[in-house]
């Protein structure tokens, strides 16, 4: 059965690119305007997300499986939100493809992508916050982790390349994440509100 549903708006980008900041301010702005909109965050289960993240360095396949499990378990909750409002998602399956997928050889990466298509909801629009990895690392240096800054920089460069390629192929909205939070919420609001009137759609 086909039913009308809210729009799923995905925010993607490397750690520190400003997704959470923009997600909160966009949702706040739209709510003030009377728009029904919910904030969604992946990974949704924090404990499962922490396990998935800690597996990332040594075993990207296990890590991707755990992130995907979290996504599958919470899909009904996301669908329930979409039945009654728009949703701004702070990360989606594209994060799994960018982080873990880019660490896998091509065949495993394609399999991972097919799995996401089976498990995850395709966003109506994807916004990529494009920030040079070195700048992102400066913003999140306190989040640390066990890896050296050089290792982290190399990883974020790989992930950023993966995002760029998906953004090009998928026609994503690309925002220069070096702009101020105020400018970014303004730009995103304008682009996404115009988009909403242009391509209102139904989903299954
Ligand atoms: P993400 O969710 O993508 O990891 P955050 O929104 O948590 O990124 O932002 C990471 C850090 O950078 C935070 O300290 C935040 O205050 C800061 N920050 C977010 N957006 C910007 C921006 N546009 N310019 C400068 N600093 C920012
Ligand atoms: Mg965040």
pLDDT in tens, 145-186: 667 778 799 999 999 999 999 999 999 999 999 999 999 999
Nearest CA to ligand 1 atom 10: 16
Q: How confident is the model at residue 1 (pLDDT cuts 50, 70, 90)?
A: very low
First to last CA, the chain: 7
pLDDT at 37: 98
| Calpha distance 187→189 (Å, rounded) | 5
pLDDT at 48: 97
Task: Assess whether the C-beta atom of 139 lies below 6 angstroms from ligand 1.
Answer: yes
Asked if the model's pLDDT at residue 201 lies above 90, the reply is: no
Residue 1 C-alpha to ligand 2 middle, in angstroms?
A: 35
37 close to 27: Cβ distance less than 8 angstroms: yes
Asked if the model's pLDDT at residue 200 lies above 60, the reply is: no
Tokens of residue 109, six digits: 């990466």
Region 133-139: mean pLDDT is: 95
User: Is the sign of the CA dihedral 41, 46, 52, 54 positive or negative?
Assistant: positive
In a domain, 112, yes or no: yes
Q: How confident is the model at residue 193 (pLDDT cuts 50, 70, 90)?
A: very high
Lowest-confidence segment of 25-29, 53-57, 70-74, 185-189 by average pLDDT: 53-57
| Calpha distance 147→56 (Å, rounded) | 12
177 close to 17: Cβ distance less than 8 angstroms: yes
Does 2 or 167 have the greater pLDDT score?
167
Residue 181 C-alpha to ligand 1 middle, in angstroms?
A: 8
Range of the domain at 74: 8-202
At 9-54, the pLDDT tens digits run: 999 999 999 999 999 999 999 999 999 999 999 999 999 999 999 9
pLDDT at 90: 98
How many structural domains compose the chain?
Answer: 1
- Specify the ligand 1 atom closest to the Cα of 184: 23
pLDDT at 202: 40
Residue 10 C-alpha to ligand 2 middle, in angstroms?
A: 13
In a domain, 41, yes or no: yes
Nearest CA to ligand 1 atom 24: 180
In a domain, 148, yes or no: yes
In a domain, 97, yes or no: yes
Q: Average pLDDT of the chain? A: 92
Asked if the model's pLDDT at residue 106 lies above 70, the reply is: yes
In a domain, 133, yes or no: yes
In a domain, 3, yes or no: no
- Domain with residue 16: its CATH number is 3.40.50.300
In a domain, 1, yes or no: no
In a domain, 114, yes or no: yes
Task: Assess whether the C-beta atom of 44 lies below 6 angstroms from ligand 1.
Answer: no
């Amino acid at each position: 059965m086909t039913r009308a549903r809210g729009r799923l708006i995905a925010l993607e980008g490397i750690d520190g690119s400003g997704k959470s900041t923009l997600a909160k301010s966009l949702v706040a702005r739209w709510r003030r305007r009377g728009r029904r909109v919910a904030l969604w965050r992946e990974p949704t289960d924090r404990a499962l997300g922490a396990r998935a993240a800690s597996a990332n360095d040594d075993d990207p396949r296990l890590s991707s499986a755990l992130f995907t499990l979290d996504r599958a378990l919470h899909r009904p909750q996301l669908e329930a939100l979409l039945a009654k409002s728009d949703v701004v998602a702070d990360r989606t399956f594209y994060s799994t493809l960018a982080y873990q997928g880019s660490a896998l050889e091509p065949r495993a990466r394609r399999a991972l992508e097919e799995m996401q298509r089976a498990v995850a909801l395709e966003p109506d629009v994807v916004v990529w916050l494009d920030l040079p990895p070195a700048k992102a690392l400066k913003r999140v240096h306190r989040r640390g982790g066990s890896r050296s800054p050089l290792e982290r920089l190399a990883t974020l460069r790989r992930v950023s390349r993966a995002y760029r390629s998906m953004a090009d192929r998928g026609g994503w909205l690309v925002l220069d994440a070096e702009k101020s939070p105020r400018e970014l919420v303004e730009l995103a609001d304008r682009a996404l509100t115009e988009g909403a009137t242009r391509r209102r759609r139904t989903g299954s």
